[in-house]
Chain A
Amino acid sequence: MTVTLFIPCFVDLMYPRVAISMVTILERLGHKVVCPEEPACCAQPAFNTGYWDESRPMAEKLLHQLKDAEVVAVASGSCGAMIKVFYPELFAGTPHENLARQVSARCYEFSDFLVRRLGVTDLGARFDARVTFHDGCHSLREMRIYDAPRQLMAKVKGLQLVEMSQTVCCGFGGTFSAKFPMISTAMGEVKCQNALETKADYIVSNDSSCLMHIQGLLDRQGKSMKTIHLAEILATT
């Protein structure tokens, strides 16, 4: 299968290892990986801030990049949800409505893609650590992904998963984190507290944007707990 990767702007810039891990895993499984050369952003910041008209040109660019893709795997549940769930509403009643629906139907968050589309759970990975998993809200509630990352982690040798007491937002929320930093920070502190209670070595997630927020707080608080994207764990051998 030829898998087209959508690597969101902030993953490209700050978390290249996540994207490289995806390439490694997919090639190891024998798939051809392609990635649009031109950078792209899903336009979620403008969309979520209410600037739908301003977000469309950006989103259109991405739609055209992905229009011939057989399947699209996305490195972030949040950007994935933007394409899969919100593009059809954003483009409703525009000439791109059909294209938006087609791309939406072919778009998967990465862990979901592995489990549901490829039917793979055991990637032969080894990761000797106690971890807890953070469900990104877009992944959990817009894309309805809960089991896939857990099925994948269950097959990682040496990995011990300890669930947190609450399934709650980390407080990032894109531009919300800058518009209402006090609320965003308080939410993040609750999240970190939940994670610290598990005494895990790592917080794992399928969304780097949540991890950026959580790691930023942990670092400022001088905590030794680390964050890591699920793809990085799955790429280990």
Chain B
Amino acid sequence: MSSAATRFREDAVRLTADLRHRQLIQTALSKYEVKRDEKKALFQDWEGARALAAQIKREAVAHLDTCLEQLTTRLEARGAKVHWASTGAQAREIIVDIVRAKNARMVVKSKAMTGEEIHLNEALQEAGVEVVESDLGEFIVQLRNEPPYHIVFPAMHLTRGEIRQVFQEKLHDAPSDNPEELTMVARRVLRQKYVQADVGITGANFAVAETGMISITENEGNARLTAALPRTMITLLGIEKVVPRLEDLALFLPMLATVGAGQLISGYNTLYGGPRQPGEADGPEEFHVVLLDNNRTALLANGEMRDALHCIRCGSCLNVCPIYRNVGGHTYGTTYSGPIGAVITPNLKGLQEWKHLSYASSLCGACTEACPVKIDLHHHLLRNRRNSAAAKPVWWQRIAFKLFSPVAGSRTLWSLVTKLGRMGQRLHPLVKGTRLDPAYAWTKTRELPPIASETFREWWRRRPSHPANKN
């Protein structure tokens, strides 16, 4: 078992037994589901919208090369500098170099999962730069030295009491656990940082090829301040974020708000096309866009799972996933958690080390049903399992499955299994629920049903109408 798998298992044991955590997440996500469904109902044809979104993403991914070139040309025409990073290390280097060239001491950052993916904050801190997360949820988890719990709701696992506590410890300012008062504390701290920061770093929700624009969706205005106040702006985005046309946003912006947060439309939707243009009153003097591959092209080359690049990082597959809801976001140990994380991580970071994420699923398909861009999520988990077992089978499992076929298919052997099962069942109480129990994984928490005194096939052969019973 890989070390990641061992950690996953240990954390899953702890979190599934934590009933307070279970209650917190179930309640939060049940409320989300109500809001999401209200907003979904406002679409004239939700299924039609999903089909269209999937089609647009398929088009963008199929023409990724030309879309990215178009995006780059248009951005550069307005004075932006576009950088191409094949790996996370390259992206870190590009960004650290820009920050160093500006002699920056402080960077303010709005939400970017790509930043988490490449461990950008660590790289900047190593370079001696202070990094401040400006999204409220990200700000809170940063104070706690934690990664985000969820790709959309980073601090969803915390109660207001816990947030007050960390504000008290780190900011020495927490008048009460009233959310509005706590938000005002964060706001006072952050407003100073925007003014002091030399560089602002953002992620992106979409990139429009046709017009060469970066689209950022947010609810707090923090990304706008991050982009507008510092003299240098850097946007880091995965290459799959590109959409062909501006009008595509007319679908994607409300869709993302609906499934992402149960909102009609997000509070702020802003398009960034380049640095401050002549005659403009504000905006950064320099604008850098870093396009990140980091193995996304491996998914692009995989015809079977290419649709995983459709992902708009809305988090809706996490929200409906009963595994996510029970083990929580941190247990995955990955930047992208939940079903999409379980699908892409083994493909981006190593199949054998991360395959356990694809096995840790009942394959219920709630994710696929919830995905607004129709990624075949739970079937991809099966395909990851197939690929990992084919590349590196577990010897005893392979033997067990090889043997199962002749046994379950033979009348004699199957009745022998039935008889042995009945015998074993009589002895089972001696070891049931103990470590000696061969069915311990099941019987630790669950009862096993008895083998029937007469199986269906035994009954079938005993019927008077059965040919063997007619003279």
A24 CB, min distance to chain B CBs, angstroms: 11
Contacts A51-B393, A182-B13 given; indicate if A19 touches B456 (C-beta within 8 A): yes
A142 to B362, CA, bound (A): 13
Cβ proximity bits B336-367 to A, threshold 8 Å, 1 near / 0 not = 00000000000000000000000111111110
Q: Which residues of B contact A182 (CB under 8 A)?
A: 12-13, 16-17
Q: Which residues of A contact B13 (CB under 8 A)?
A: 182
A10 to B458, CA, bound (A): 14
A12 to B452, CA, bound (A): 9
A38 to B361, CA, bound (A): 32
Cβ proximity bits A1-25 to B, threshold 8 Å, 1 near / 0 not = 0000001010111111101100100
Q: Which of A9, A15, A51, A173: most chain B Cβ within 10 A?
A: A51
B383-400 CB contacts (< 8 Å) to partner A: 385-390, 393, 397-398
Is residue A43 within 8 Å, beta carbon to beta carbon, of the partner chain?
yes
A87 CB, min distance to chain B CBs, angstroms: 13
Is residue A155 within 8 Å, beta carbon to beta carbon, of the partner chain?
no
A135 to B255, CA, bound (A): 28
Is residue A134 within 8 Å, beta carbon to beta carbon, of the partner chain?
no
Contacts A13-B418, A137-B362, A185-B446 given; indicate if A54 touches B398 (C-beta within 8 A): yes
Quick check: B405 and A169 within 8 Å, CB to CB? no
Is residue A48 within 8 Å, beta carbon to beta carbon, of the partner chain?
yes
At the interface, is chain A mostly helix, strand, loop or mixed?
helix
* Interface bin, chain B: 35 or more
Quick check: A41 and B366 within 8 Å, CB to CB? no
Quick check: B323 and A13 within 8 Å, CB to CB? no
Is residue B192 within 8 Å, beta carbon to beta carbon, of the partner chain?
no
Quick check: B446 and A188 within 8 Å, CB to CB? yes
Cβ proximity bits A181-208 to B, threshold 8 Å, 1 near / 0 not = 1111111101000000000000000000
Cβ proximity bits A25-41 to B, threshold 8 Å, 1 near / 0 not = 00000000001011111
Quick check: B326 and A183 within 8 Å, CB to CB? yes
How many residues on A have C-beta within 8 angstroms of the other chain's C-beta atoms? 66
Is residue B455 within 8 Å, beta carbon to beta carbon, of the partner chain?
yes
Q: Which residues of B contact A97 (CB under 8 A)?
A: none
Quick check: A217 and B421 within 8 Å, CB to CB? no
Q: Which residues of A contact B448 (CB under 8 A)?
A: 216
Of A16, A48, A186, which one neighbours B382 at CB under 8 angstroms? A48
Q: Which residues of B contact A61 (CB under 8 A)?
A: 405, 409
Quick check: B445 and A16 within 8 Å, CB to CB? no
Contacts A38-B411, A177-B442 given; indicate if A58 touches B26 (C-beta within 8 A): no
Is residue A46 within 8 Å, beta carbon to beta carbon, of the partner chain?
yes
Quick check: B322 and A215 within 8 Å, CB to CB? no
Quick check: B322 and A190 within 8 Å, CB to CB? yes
Counted as pairs of residues, one from A and one from B, with CB atoms less than 8 Å apart, the total is 187
Contacts A48-B363, A184-B362, A190-B26 given; indicate if A15 touches B401 (C-beta within 8 A): no
Q: Which residues of B contact A13 (CB under 8 A)?
A: 418, 421, 451-452, 455
Is residue A213 within 8 Å, beta carbon to beta carbon, of the partner chain?
yes
Cβ proximity bits A164-180 to B, threshold 8 Å, 1 near / 0 not = 00101101111011111
Q: Which residues of B contact A39 (CB under 8 A)?
A: 408-411, 414, 457
B71-119 CB contacts (< 8 Å) to partner A: none
A47 CB, min distance to chain B CBs, angstroms: 8
Q: Which of A16, A45, A46, A186: most chain B Cβ within 10 A?
A: A186
Quick check: B22 and A186 within 8 Å, CB to CB? yes
A73 CB, min distance to chain B CBs, angstroms: 14
A141 to B457, CA, bound (A): 30
A195-237 CB contacts (< 8 Å) to partner B: 212-213, 215-217, 219-220
B133-152 CB contacts (< 8 Å) to partner A: none
At the interface, is chain B mostly helix, strand, loop or mixed?
helix
Quick check: B450 and A14 within 8 Å, CB to CB? yes
Q: Which residues of B contact A180 (CB under 8 A)?
A: 9, 12, 359-360
Residue of B nearest to A215 (CB): B449
Is residue B369 within 8 Å, beta carbon to beta carbon, of the partner chain?
yes
Contacts A19-B456, A54-B405 given; indicate if A216 touches B363 (C-beta within 8 A): no
A220 CB, min distance to chain B CBs, angstroms: 5
Quick check: B460 and A35 within 8 Å, CB to CB? yes
A141 to B365, CA, bound (A): 6
Residue of B nearest to A172 (CB): B362
Quick check: A55 and B455 within 8 Å, CB to CB? no
Contacts A141-B364, A176-B363 given; indicate if A46 touches B404 (C-beta within 8 A): yes
Of A19, A55, A169, A183, which one neighbours B360 at CB under 8 angstroms? A183
Of B26, B361, B362, B446, which one neighbours A216 at CB under 8 angstroms? B446
A51 to B26, CA, bound (A): 34
A188 to B364, CA, bound (A): 13
Quick check: B446 and A169 within 8 Å, CB to CB? no
A17 CB, min distance to chain B CBs, angstroms: 8
Quick check: A46 and B385 within 8 Å, CB to CB? no
Q: Which residues of A contact B449 (CB under 8 A)?
A: 14-15, 212, 215-216
Is residue A127 within 8 Å, beta carbon to beta carbon, of the partner chain?
no
B1-22 CB contacts (< 8 Å) to partner A: 9, 12-13, 16-17, 22
Residue of B nearest to A59 (CB): B405
A171 CB, min distance to chain B CBs, angstroms: 6
A91 CB, min distance to chain B CBs, angstroms: 14
B439-471 CB contacts (< 8 Å) to partner A: 441-442, 444-452, 454-461
Where the two chains meet, the residues of A that have a C-beta atom closer than 8 Å to any C-beta of B are 7, 9, 11-17, 19-20, 23, 35, 37-41, 43, 45-55, 57-58, 61, 137-138, 140-142, 166, 168-169, 171-174, 176-188, 190, 212-213, 215-217, 219-220
Q: What are some 9 contacts across the A-B interface (CB < 8 A)?
A: A19-B456, A46-B404, A48-B363, A50-B386, A54-B398, A141-B369, A166-B30, A187-B362, A215-B447
